[in-house]
Chain A
Amino acid sequence: MWTFFHKLASPPHFYRFAATLIPWFGIPGLILIAYGAYAGLFVASVDYQQGDAFRIIYVHVPAAYLSMMAYMMMAVGGGIGLIWRLKLAHAVGAAAAPLGAAFTFLALVTGSIWGRPMWGTWWEWGDPRLTSELILLFLYFGYMALRSSIDDTAKADKASAVLALVGVVNVVIVHFSVEWWSSLHQGQTVFKKGTMDADMRIPLFAMLIGFTLIFGAMLARRIRTEILYRERRTRWVKELVLSPEGDK
């Protein structure tokens, strides 16, 4: 068991391992998203209060969940990188940031589009969930800007890891904002019993798992790129590039 994890932390080993993960995550992810989107759009019953507008949750909820999960990966990666000086952990954080920013943007825009017919407004500055999610997007931008402004990869890793760890406070605020303060945004319903009918809940879970798997496949590809760039002067990369199989 420990040997497996020890090997996994080795960049050349993880580079090959990540390549095998991409189809294993990507194909089931696409199937689940196709099913979830179809069932969410055409099979799930109409919500008695929100009408068909509720179907936006099938993209909004997975995007919002991934926006927080990606940040937590960055923070955990940063923490592991700082404590155990594991370069691969920093690579995971760097690879997760653009994905997290993309899903945060998607969560904000789909939430805004849903808010227009439901709340009568595209945006409400006083709402803690909306504002903290926007701050999360700025944290992603700050993290990426900080990384790209420092040429030395080791220094960029350390500085961005500290920023990622400090920003975890905001993820906690995003998550609990609907419970701590009065918010236009509805409270947590997905995992509460009796709040959603099965024909609404099953497609949502399919979308949540499908989006997570697609995120995993995209993250695996981005980690491979990070590893390749960081290890460009090493012998194994030279052997990989000069081998007849190349990057297969």
Chain B
Amino acid sequence: MRRAWVATVVVYTAGAAACGGGDVVKPRAPEVARAVPTSVCSPMTYGGEGSPNLLVPLSGPLQNANSDHGIQNAQAVKLVLQQRGWRAGEHRVAIQVCDESSADEYVDLPKCERNARAFARNPSVVAVVGPTFSSCAGSMLPLLNGAEGGPVALAGTGNTYLGLTRSGPGVEKGDPDRLYPTGRRSYFRTVAADDAQAAAAVLVARRAGARRTFAVHDGEAYGEGLAGAFEATARRAGLTPVGTARWDGEARGYRRLALQIRRRGVDAVYLAGFVTSNGPRLVRDLRAGLGSRVELMAPDGFNQPTALVEGAGERAEGLTVSLAAAPVRALPAPGKRWSAEFRKRWGASPCCYASTPDR
């Protein structure tokens, strides 16, 4: 592996060793790091002595919904680098923050591909932190893995799609092998995969006394994968999955879908997808059509409480949303200490993917 070896030191102090085994080859980085020349990246940030010789770009959404993730992940990496004097061993490390969203889209896959090509071409780049979205990781991985001189490591910050690392229910055909053209793994994630999220939802449903479940997805890889994992896990848990359906994110409403689900005698529904796929309306119409006794559950794609309450009003009550990351209060002592540092430095607690259990 040409460049991945330094990634472990740079950002995530533990757990990062899983970034892939294999040979360690010295990078052929220039003496002074070169910035990635693209209009969608910020200038390099470096606060150490002299000039940086290595560059770690961060990919995150910096526009519109979900920009919290991009901003907080960048703040987290900067804080860690600053705490370490902007050094990784003998190397001086800079960060460059790049956008994976656009003014119109919460994730822009062509932009992800172009960014990945720019990272792969730049010999200063030894690893990439991010992206936030699984679909963006899926676009970047083959290009970074096949980089000239060896794979560039990717440390996914919010990627929960199971097929990035292994096969399983809901995983697209060919994944994950197609993502690693060299045959060598060059990726790790810092959050739990979707099978864990789906299993958590099944547990919630079972504890609520549900027997018959239904999954709806928004047609995206993330949603389809989650719906598949939910169905498989529900079956293993002794529940009866009675169907799945796709919800159209462009639709004006979902009363007909609610009626279709109601006719199946369902008592738990899993909303596998993003809140940005007309999620508040979906919640509103399902709650109205199914009543308050049916359990509604959703994955981290629905973690926008303000938007949900604005769009669904009181019908958002009772919706259970899972997260693939631990809240600060559940972190071990070093994680709590670091989170306190983050809050002191940046004025807000690190949410969701900006902190990871340190064990």
Please say whether chains A and B are actual partners in one complex. Answer: no
Residues of A participating in the B interface, judged by any CB pair closer than 8 Å: none
